[in-house]
Amino acid sequence: MVGDRVTVVVMTTSSADSALDQPDLRAAFGPLASLIEDPAVTDVLVNGPDSVWCDRGAGAHRTQVRLADDRSVRRLAVRLAALAGQRLDESSPWVDGLLPRGLRLHAVLPPLVEGGAHVSLRVPRQRVPSLDDLAEWGVVDRLGLTVLDAVVASRASFVVSGGTGTGKTTLLGALLSRCDPGQRILVVEDVRELRVVHPHVVHLQGRARNVEGRGEVTMTTLVRQSLRMRPDRVVVGEVRGAEVRELLTALNTGHEGGCGTVHANTAGDVVPRFEALGALADMSRHAVHAQLSSAIEVVLHLARDAQGRRRLREVALLGAVADRGVVVRPALSGGPGAWSAGGALPDLLERIGLSPEALPW
């Protein structure tokens, strides 16, 4: 070891098979190992030696885990960055990567952040949650399950929206796991997070530029490549940049059932969010609306309740309205056990092939 540089050789294993009971992995995570191994933990956040937080599905709370000092936190961050095959030092003061067992790492060093190094870990569940699991945890209820199953079966294109940590990727993985086994699913992500239980899934993952500034593979490039791989469904794990242009194009060329996730505070914010992303791809507002009107049909919006629990809160339809472009029309709102019908509910049921009598109110 020289300064903060660490070289680590890691044997590649699938995220499902990796475990922290391997001595080298336990050593790499240090005091965080006990949190990572807790099956209820979804996020671990290190803000300093005496400020370690975790989320077990009801919001972040402070833990009793402690590190020795700021230098220990920095060494931890550098060690985890090396496990992800990346560097973290003054010349590259942040890192966003994938660790063994499918953990997603983000770390940043001072002076970009106040105090010492900060580490954020997104911890995937050992078993991919199904829709039935989500129902058991209260994310959806019987009515929500009925609608979600119909959205998948009808091959309607959809986006899962919500804020950070609301469970967008988890819900998307559970929905894709319900797809017909004969369908070929092409998943495009910048960092692999989406886990799908399905016999025919192809994962494409972006690549950051190396220390010489070369070798970058962008999401835009990957979406273009996915269209040449005979997909039945094109999935963008998170739409966050110029790749929105290729995704909208793909969903307008016969790829039914395409989907992805997008950050938005409410279902009604999805269209402005696509407008902002389209601007990154040099698309005008008119061009975004023209593509969006036939590319995305359904919005599934997640949010946390007052107790920090993740819930499906809104189901909406996207549609074009004269002189207004694409608008979001509420079909269901309120969340599990408190659903109310919106004006777009009849159109939603017609599109996904459900009769009003099929809804278990």
- pLDDT tens digit sequence for 329-361: 999 999 999 999 999 999 999 999 999 999 998
Domain 23-122 listed as CATH 3.30.450.370? yes
**Spatial distance between the Cα atoms of 179 and 348, rounded to a whole number of angstroms:** 19
Read off the DSSP letter of residue 11.
Answer: -
Q: Which CATH entry fits the domain spanning 131-358: 3.40.50.300, 2.60.40.10, 3.40.250.10, 3.90.420.10? A: 3.40.50.300
Is the per-residue pLDDT at 323 higher than 90?
no
185-189 and 310-321 as β-strands: parallel, antiparallel, unpaired? unpaired
Q: How do the domains of the chain map onto residue ranges?
A: 23-122, 131-358
pLDDT at 249: 81
Q: ∠ at Cα 125 (119, 126), nearest 5°?
A: 120
pLDDT (mean) for 247-270:
87
pLDDT at 303: 95
pLDDT (mean) for 177-198:
90
Is the per-residue pLDDT at 237 higher than 60?
yes
pLDDT (mean) for 218-231:
87
With pLDDT > 70 as the criterion, what percentage of the chain qualifies? Answer: 92
Read off the DSSP letter of residue 50.
Answer: T
Is the per-residue pLDDT at 9 higher than 90?
no
> What mean pLDDT value characterizes the chain?
86
**Spatial distance between the Cα atoms of 302 and 230, rounded to a whole number of angstroms:** 31
Please give the model's pTM, rounded to 2 decimal places: 0.78
For the chain, the 3-state helix, strand and coil shares in percent, each to the nearest 5, are 30, 25, 45
Is the per-residue pLDDT at 305 higher than 60?
yes
Is the per-residue pLDDT at 11 higher than 50?
no
CA dihedral 104, 257, 242, 84 (to 10 degrees): 20
Q: Which range scores top for mean pLDDT: 37-51, 72-86, 114-128, 138-152?
A: 138-152
pLDDT at 6: 36
Is the per-residue pLDDT at 245 higher than 90?
no
**Spatial distance between the Cα atoms of 228 and 226, rounded to a whole number of angstroms:** 5
pLDDT (mean) for 209-222:
77
pLDDT (mean) for 307-319:
93
Is the per-residue pLDDT at 38 higher than 70?
yes
4 contact partners, CB below 8 Å, separation of at least 6: 74, 75, 78, 88, 89
What is the token pair recorded at 345? 């509910």
What letters, b where the CB count within 10 A reaches 16 and e where it falls short, cover 15-31?
A: beebebeeeebbebbbb
pLDDT at 218: 83
pLDDT (mean) for 50-78:
88
